[in-house]
Amino acid sequence: MRFAMYKTAHGGNGMISLENAYDEIRELGHNFAIALAERGHDTKESDLMNGLAAYHTLKLEGENARMDAAHRLVMRDITDIMFKRARAAARKAAAKKASA
């Protein structure tokens, strides 16, 4: 399991797990979607995607150390997953080309 450390508002150290990081970003996204819906906007994205959009759209970086750590963890995890998929696709394409 992955964790990230961050400085708390009181100068101590905090820790957040990958699971909790996803939960925090999803919660942000859910609240963001509700706020948009109240203003007549229809969001069709998942709470996760809405959370990532909210973090950037509202320029939340630096506002809350726990949210910053959650964002870093989620983005790192998503990036790792996408690189694994890209490498697997490249290996599959190379194997297909070699067998042809």
pLDDT tens sequence across 61-88: 999 999 999 999 999 999 999 999 999 9
User: pLDDT by residue (tens digit) across 5-55?
Assistant: 998 888 899 999 999 999 999 999 999 999 999 999 988 899 999 999 999
Residue 52's domain spans which residues?
3-99
pTM score of the predicted model: 0.84
Q: With the CA atoms of 64, 65, 71 and 75 taken in that order, what torsion angle do they form, in degrees rounded to the nearest 10?
A: 150
- The first and second tokens of residue 85, run together, are 């998929």
What total of structural domains would you count in the chain?
Answer: 1
pLDDT value, residue 43:
86
Residue 71: other Cβ atoms inside 10 A: 22
Identify the band that residue 100 occupies on the pLDDT scale cut at 50, 70 and 90. Answer: confident
Q: Which residue has the tokens 């990532």?
A: 52
